[in-house]
Amino acid sequence: MTESWLSIFPERIRSLLIKLPAKMLTELEEVRIREERPLEINAGGRFYFLKEDGALTDQVADAVRTGREESHRLLDLITNHSVYTMEEELRKGFITLPGGHRMGLSGRTVLSRGKVEHIRDISGFNLRIAREVKGASSGVLPHLLDYRHKSVLHTLIVAPPQQGKTTMLRDIARAVSSGQFAPAREKWPGLKVAIIDERSEIAGCRRGVPSFDIGPRTDIMDGCPKAEGIMMMIRSMSPDVIIVDEIGRPEDAEALTQALHAGVRVIATAHGSGINGTSLSPLLSGVSVGKLFQRFVALGRGEHGFTFKVYDGEYKPLI
């Protein structure tokens, strides 16, 4: 069994997951645990409950339920037996685990001056499993190239949650850093890539070392707020390309604008359901996205992998 994330679960839950067919286990995207409610999994975008014998069911009455003791045990395992040392992560509502996997949390929030201080009575868990898909960006990258400068164009990838934005970014970093983004007839050098990995998901760093192949010329600022990390990387690591996930705050847009003025190419993602000025402007808090980005990619997933549409800086479709 090579799925390392299985080790974070209490024994009973782990034993149920191990009984899943091997192919489904490799396609698993989420494991959802809700105290005193059915254990649920998401594989290939389809949701199932689990029965006591490990079989799949869509019937709530037949599904196995997890109890309070298992919730407490799971929280103990994912916080490495010390909830207090994970207060900052708990405040954000998730914990990033080794390998870039993310455990989302739900419970009762405790507020201080109107802001979330921490979460208590945690009873909901959602493990989002990170996977490396080499070649995932091969269809998209040819449409994002700057032939004049042997580089990439400023690009924003937009999609709803769970459509593969982070997986796509991870593979773009690998390809650009290694020089594998160039057309077959060209010989372009690999570029210096800087990843701002605020949630430790793109590179999946453990003690500063990436768990995924993000290329030989890639530097990572791990666990750092995006806006601050962008400026730190520009000043210290002289990147050719900056890669950042899920922008959306005013300071993110300002930092990306500074990167553009510094001559650094930017590839970013954002949550969204379409490509047009009306839907994208709020993402960048009033910054003219048409002046900032030269390409937009609407990303999705189909039965056989990623689907995408590419637009120019004026939102006109290219393919």
- Looking at this protein, which amino acid is placed at residue 4? S
Q: Is 62 within a domain?
A: yes
**74 and 168 in one domain?**
no
- Distance (Å, whole) CA 19 – CA 64: 14
DSSP 314: T
pLDDT at 227 over 80: yes
Indicate whether 146 and 120 sit together in one domain: no
With 0.85 as the threshold, say if the pTM is over it: no
59-84 tens-digit pLDDT: 999 999 999 999 999 999 999 888 87
Q: Tell me, what CATH number does 42's domain have?
A: 3.30.450
Would you say 29 and 45 are in contact if contact means Cβ atoms under 8 Å apart? yes
Q: Which pLDDT score is estimated for 278?
A: 47
Count of domains forming the chain: 2
Shared-domain flag, residues 159 and 116: no
Indicate whether 318 belongs to any domain.
Answer: no
The pairing of beta strand 241-244 with beta strand 193-197: parallel
DSSP state for residue 143 in the 8-state scheme: G
Rounded Cα distance between 288 and 293, Å, is 9
CATH of the domain at 196: 3.40.50.300
Question: Which of 128, 161, 186 finishes a domain?
Answer: 128
43 lies in which domain range?
6-128
Say if 234 falls within a structural domain: yes
122-141: per-residue pLDDT in tens?
Answer: 999 999 998 889 999 999 99
CB 309 within 8 A of CB 144: no
CA–CA distance, 33 with 70 (Å, rounded to integer)? 10
Does residue 1 belong to any structural domain of this protein? no
Same-domain pairing of 228 and 297: yes
Which pair of tokens denotes residue 133?
């898909």
- Say if residue 106 is in the same domain as residue 158: no
